[in-house]
């Protein structure tokens, strides 16, 4: 078993954000899978009745792009959650970057009329939590002791 020379106590806020990332990753993965299933039904002709299809090719392209981004964000969110739980230096930066992409995607959804206010609120809560001083200190670079 590998032991870090300087063990960092994980702040409670990091634990909360880690759990929020796990939840967000699971939700994004579920949305992505459901979107793929719906797209397959439309393409195969099985689900054309009762589905709210995009009115224009531009709307369809926007929905497809948002679906692809969502599919990528799900697994990345799960990886970042693990990094946050283990206080990995890259996890804070990746978490902030993912929330930036997530907020941009949520804004795109809003602009095409499919706003998800809960997802927006969750992303904002995560960004605010990541910017707490105790969280930033936990992920700050450590000086290596000479020896």
Q: Give the integer Cα–Cα distance in Å for 24 and 71.
A: 12
pLDDT digits (tens, 9 = 90+) for 27-71: 888 887 887 777 777 666 665 555 555 556 666 677 777 788 888
Q: Give the integer Cα–Cα distance in Å for 50 and 47.
A: 7
**Pairwise pLDDT comparison (59 vs 7), residue with the higher score:** 59
Q: Give the integer Cα–Cα distance in Å for 81 and 25.
A: 9
Predicted TM-score of the model (pTM): 0.74
Quick one: which of 123, 137, 61 has its CA closest to 92?
137
Q: What angle do CA 106, 107, 110 make, to 5 degrees?
A: 90
């Amino acid at each position: 078993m590998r032991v870090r020379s300087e063990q960092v106590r994980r702040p409670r806020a990091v634990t909360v954000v880690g759990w929020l990332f796990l939840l967000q990753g699971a939700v994004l993965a579920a949305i992505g899978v459901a979107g793929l299933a719906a797209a397959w039904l439309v393409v195969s002709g099985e689900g054309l009745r009762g589905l709210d299809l995009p009115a224009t090719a531009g709307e369809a392209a926007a929905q497809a792009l948002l679906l692809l981004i969502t599919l990528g964000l799900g697994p990345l969110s799960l990886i970042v959650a693990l990094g946050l739980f283990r206080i990995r230096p890259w996890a804070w930066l990746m978490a902030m970057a993912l929330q930036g992409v997530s907020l941009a995607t949520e804004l795109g959804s809003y602009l095409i009329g499919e706003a998800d206010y809960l997802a927006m609120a969750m992303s904002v809560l995560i960004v605010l939590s990541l910017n707490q001083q105790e969280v930033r200190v936990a992920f700050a670079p450590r000086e290596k002791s000479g020896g």
